[in-house]
Amino acid sequence: MFIEDHLSKSDQLVLMFQAVEFARNGVVMTDPKLHDNPIIYTNPAFTDISGYSAEEILGHNCRFLQGEDRQQPALDELRKAIKEERSLTVVLRNYKKNGAKFFNELTVSPVRNEKGDLVSYVGIQNDITARIEAEERISDFYSVVSHELRTPIAKIKSSLSVIEDGEAGPVSDSVRRFVEISAKSAESLWRLIENILDFKKLESGKFRLLRQRLRLSELVENVVAEFQPVADEALIQLTCQCLANPHVDADGQRLVQVLENLLSNAVKFSPRGSAVAVRVLMSESNFARVEVSDQGPGIAQQDLSKLFEKFQQLESPDRRLRGGTGLGLSICKAIIEAQGGRIGLSSREGQGSTFWFEIEPSS
């Protein structure tokens, strides 16, 4: 059912005007045909957000909302979008009439007449200050907790290693068993801290890659060889097959991190006595491809899209025993995509899973 079928043109205009007037989002319109693209309309919601009256807003360019805080990269993006007459969503630091800072999520869109000529810009505004401040508090909390935990955990690991190696004196078999359990727990906690720090670097844009030219098969074979004791302990047959040996320009240490994560998951979710196979090959699209296949329980189709989202873990009867933070695969995805690659999986319930990543080979 369409309003055109029930309302006249004039009634349609009245209805649309009232919808904008009563909207909770701030709405402004500007006239690009006038000097300095001034605001020619504002709804009541935006006067409430900014603290300015309609009379103080109309006739001014939107830049007055930034006050002296004009060195914002988002402003450059906004000016470029307006010049190119295209839509854009940015987050700006704006200031209310009383001087209070607020974060404005602004979506700007060009408005055209029936001939396709630009006649106006409409800006939809949302005050997202509460969300930004909450995200900053969470980020600060993670950073402080992670850094404060690193030093004591490092000392615990070092002390347990000294005891386990017998350097602090002979220990009985029962004590050694408890030390080994503690050492594994400390290592798991250390990986959790590292994942949190990596995750925060990714979110803040401080994640850096150190690219170098390397042989992918050699890197994979080394990781598999180092991971062999873990597979042996879990009674998993681990194999590696290199069907190609391409060069890639990539951060080798980060690729190791991705592969270790995929191997760890494959072993963790595989039944004892089963096999995990690693393969290096060239994909149909001529990308260097690494696959990690297991014979685990598989993943339901409706859950496949969740795997690479942060803090996502699939329900399973023994989930508490297997542990995990739900960060590992989201970090792997970010690492691979930052290097121009892609990552994914194929799986069916009861038939195992194959996780893979692809990177463009270097010439």
In percent, how much of the chain has pLDDT > 90?
Answer: 54
The per-residue pLDDT of the chain, averaged, comes to 86
β partners of residue 39:
30
* Domain parsing of the chain, residue ranges: 3-127, 132-204, 212-359
Would you place residue 91 in the very low, low, confident or very high pLDDT band (cuts 50, 70, 90)? very high
- Homologous superfamily of the 3-127 domain (CATH): PAS domain (3.30.450.20)
pLDDT of 322 > 70? The answer is: no
- The per-residue pLDDT for 310 is 58
Segment (H or E) for 95: strand 88-95
- The per-residue pLDDT for 242 is 94
Q: What is the pLDDT of residues 222-248, one digit of tens each?
A: 999 999 988 998 999 999 999 998 999
pLDDT of 9 > 80? The answer is: no
CB half-sphere exposure, 329, CA atoms < 13 A: 24
**What does the angle CA 196 – CA 198 – CA 202 come to, to the nearest 5 degrees?**
115
- The per-residue pLDDT for 206 is 64
Average pLDDT over residues 14-32: 93
- Phi, psi at residue 298, to the nearest 5°? 80, 175
What's domain 212-359's architecture?
A: 2-Layer Sandwich (3.30)
Across 89-122, b (16+ Cβ under 10 Å) vs e yields ebebbbbeeeeeebbbbbebbbeeeeeeeeebbb
Common-topology check for domains 3-127 and 212-359: no
Average pLDDT over residues 282-291: 94
- The per-residue pLDDT for 156 is 86
pTM of the model: 0.55
- Segment of 107-116, 312-321, 328-337 carrying the highest mean pLDDT: 107-116
Higher model confidence: residue 144 or residue 4?
144
- The per-residue pLDDT for 190 is 80
Would you place residue 60 in the very low, low, confident or very high pLDDT band (cuts 50, 70, 90)? very high
Q: Which two tokens stand for residue 9?
A: 């043109």
Average pLDDT over residues 62-89: 94
Alpha carbons 200 and 140: distance in angstroms, whole number:
9
Q: What is the pLDDT of residues 164-191, one digit of tens each?
A: 777 777 878 888 788 888 887 887 788 7
Would you place residue 48 in the very low, low, confident or very high pLDDT band (cuts 50, 70, 90)? very high
